[in-house]
Amino acid sequence: MLAEYLPTLLFLIVAAGIGIALIIAGNVLGTKRPSAEKLSPYECGFEAFENARMPFDVRYYLVAILFIVFDLEIAFVFPWAVVFRELGVFGLIEMGVFLALLVIGFVYVWKRGALEWE
């Protein structure tokens, strides 16, 4: 039974070895010319002007989560559209319920003001 996992284990060992070898080769063979400009922090084309650990507004995370939720909707709609004819009316009703729940969630978020920016 353990012999069945041997190819996978060998693959992981070879992959880890190649990864480690490339990191070591880059550190040994790579040019090192540090300067004050190269070692300075860089953020979006501007000099760092505030603490990097400042708290973010929760709305950034909320919008990111909402984007992920509504973006993942496509992951369910596309396969459904591919096999739409095989599913028939039952599949149409199921997708209607799914989309209705998403629309209800979107309207709730919209009414609560989660998408409003000041």
Task: Give the domain CATH number at 63.
Answer: 1.20.58.1610
Q: Write out the residue range of the structural domain in which residue 96 sits.
A: 14-111
Record the pTM: 0.48
Q: Is residue 94 part of a domain?
A: yes
Report if residue 9 sits inside a domain. Answer: no
φ/ψ of 39, rounded to 5, equals -90, -5
What is the pLDDT at residue 52?
Answer: 63
Residue 97 lies in a domain: yes
Our CA dihedral for 85, 90, 91, 93, rounded to 10 degrees, sits at 130
- Residue 1 forms part of a structural domain: no
Q: Is residue 96 a part of any domain in this protein?
A: yes
- Span 21-40, mean pLDDT? 88
88/49 Cα distance (integer angstroms): 59
Q: Which residues pair with 43 in a beta bridge?
A: 46
What would the pLDDT profile of 41-94 be if each residue is shown by its tens digit? 666 666 666 666 777 777 778 778 888 888 888 888 888 889 988 988 999 999
Q: How far is Cα 116 from Cα 64, in angstroms, rounded to an integer?
A: 14
Residue 118 lies in a domain: no
Q: Is residue 2 part of a domain?
A: no
Looking at the 3D structure of the chain, how many domains does it have?
1
* Per-residue pLDDT band at 28 (split at 50, 70, 90): very high
pLDDT, residue 71, reads 84
pLDDT of residue 10: 95
In a domain, 43, yes or no: yes
- Host H or E run for residue 70: helix 58-82
